[in-house]
Amino acid sequence: MAVMTMLSKTKKKADKAETSRPATLKSSDANCVVAKGTRIEGDFSSVESIRLDGIVIGQLKCERRLVIGEAGRVEGNVTASETVVMGHIKGDVMVSGTLHLMGTAQIEGDIQAKFLVVEEGAAYAGKCLVGAK
């Protein structure tokens, strides 16, 4: 009988840990995913990282890392701390950290970033200011 009591107490502790697990998630673990086929009209902002494979018509602000997939498209200004672009942006881009333009990236607008990495095949039309303000 003592063994059963020990097991039951251990199981209760494990159950309690599992139910409290979501509360222990760090905010940096959270992400916002905009799937392919999704269209957002209007300004869109997030304090967490964003993965964009859909379309945003309006301003896009991300306080963390923004990844725009090959199918992703933004028609409006983009502001983020770090950005990886594989898709299309029609608007100005302001990045306080590093802006990565992958080979499939297309930007029609002015770029301002602290650091810029451009892969072969990426294209942008507009003014480009890189470095400290």
Number of structural domains (the chain) is: 1
Q: How far apart are CA 12 and CA 27, in angstroms?
A: 27
- State yes or no: pLDDT of 11 exceeds 80: no
Query: Residue 14 falls within a domain, yes or no?
Result: no
For the record, the structure tokens of 44 come out as: 């869109």
Query: Residue 79 falls within a domain, yes or no?
Result: yes
- State yes or no: pLDDT of 40 exceeds 90: yes
Query: Residue 53 falls within a domain, yes or no?
Result: yes
Query: Residue 35 falls within a domain, yes or no?
Result: no
pLDDT, tens digit, 9 for 90 and up, residues 95-117:
999 999 999 999 999 999 999 99
> Residue 63 sits in which domain range?
45-130
Query: Residue 74 falls within a domain, yes or no?
Result: yes
What integer pLDDT is reported at residue 31 of this predicted model? Answer: 86
Average pLDDT of every residue of the chain: 84
Query: Residue 24 falls within a domain, yes or no?
Result: no
Residue 131's nearest CA partner among 107, 108, 97 is 97
Query: Residue 13 falls within a domain, yes or no?
Result: no
Query: Residue 10 falls within a domain, yes or no?
Result: no
Say if CB 133 and CB 113 are below 8 A apart: no
- State yes or no: pLDDT of 10 exceeds 70: no
